Amino acid sequence: MAIKRIIAIGSAKGGVGKSSITASIALSLSKHTSVGILDADIYGPNQHILFNINKKPKISKKLFNPINKNKIKIISMGNILNNDKAAIWRGPMLSGAIKKLINSTNWGDLDYLLIDMPPGTGDAYLTIFNELKIDDFILITNPNKLAMSDLKRTVSMLKKLKINILGYINNIIFDTKIDIQDEYFESNNIKHLGTFQFDNKIYNFDLKYISKISNLISDKILSST
Ligand SMILES: Nc1ncnc2c1ncn2[C@@H]1O[C@H](COP(=O)(O)OP(=O)(O)OP(=O)(O)O)[C@@H](O)[C@H]1O
Ligand SMILES: [Mg+2]
């Protein structure tokens, strides 16, 4: 079992498009490479919904077999717990659940494992970074001062943990005044990987749709190896 590259996709801010963009990029990457998605959002898993997966992963030799959908291997707490049940675990239980997902999944060989990160900067992050060797982090933000403020906290944590930042993606979900703070990214040497606009096919996630922007970002990921 070998994973060539692990890329975490996130931001401390909730609702900026982490899960939707992770799934879109996975669809683009899967055209040329073998891709997996680890949905690390234990309290609010979403990948099983985006990929329309209702079954539980099979277990063999005490390991979860990720579920194959659109040529992508996916594991999400949403498929392990009963669908609409909330996980109401305290920190140590949360860390335990993440560790279990990470260490008990048989990914086989993968070119890319994308991690759909939960919002926040707490226990979940530390556990994931302790358990896995993250090669790169992709930041997602909205062009909004609240999203930017949370993103800056994420960047400061990533710098402390010495995690490589591949770049940021701007997700313009709302048609509104744009406050992206280019100078912040320039002064911190964080590359712009691309900008998503509001897109109905992303909003009502269409698994047959591969957006031009996610293709462009996936090309940048491929060329950065
Ligand atoms: N580019 C886009 N076009 C249309 N809708 C979008 C786009 N990006 C995200 N959305 C929508 O915005 C909402 C938030 O997106 P998503 O759940 O992917 O964000 P998130 O950062 O993963 O949230 P959370 O912090 O809860 O995990 C969802 O309803 C999603 O369908
Ligand atoms: Mg999410």
SS (H, E, C) 59-82: EECCEECCEEECCEEEEEHHHHCC
| Interatomic CA distance for residues 117 and 96, integer angstroms | 16
| Interatomic CA distance for residues 60 and 131, integer angstroms | 22
Q: Which tens digit of pLDDT belongs to each residue from 82-108?
A: 666 666 667 777 788 888 889 999 999
Nearest CA to ligand 1 atom 16: 17
Q: What is the pTM of this model?
A: 0.95
Distance 19 CA to ligand 1 centre (A): 6
Distance 122 CA to ligand 2 centre (A): 15
CATH number of residue 8's parent domain: 3.40.50.300
Burial class (CB in 10 A: 0-12, 13-18, 19+), 31: exposed
Ligand (nearest to CA of 47):
2
Per-residue pLDDT averaged across 147-164, rounded? Answer: 94
Q: Which residues have CB under 6 Å of ligand 1?
A: 14-20, 41, 44, 46, 119, 171, 173, 196, 198-199, 202-203
Distance 180 CA to ligand 1 centre (A): 18
Q: How far is CA 26 from the centre of its chain?
A: 9
Atom of ligand 1 nearest to the CA of 205: 31
In which domain, by residue range, is 87 found? Answer: 3-223
Beta bridge partners of 170: 141, 195
Per-residue pLDDT averaged across 134-155, rounded? Answer: 94
Query: In the structure, what pLDDT confidence band is assigned to residue 174 with cuts at 50, 70 and 90?
Result: confident
Q: Which tens digit of pLDDT belongs to each residue from 179-225?
A: 668 899 999 999 999 999 999 999 999 999 999 999 999 999 999 97
Ligand (nearest to CA of 14):
1
Neighbours of 134 (CB within 10 A): 19
The residue count for the chain: 225
Per the structure, how many domains does the chain have? 1
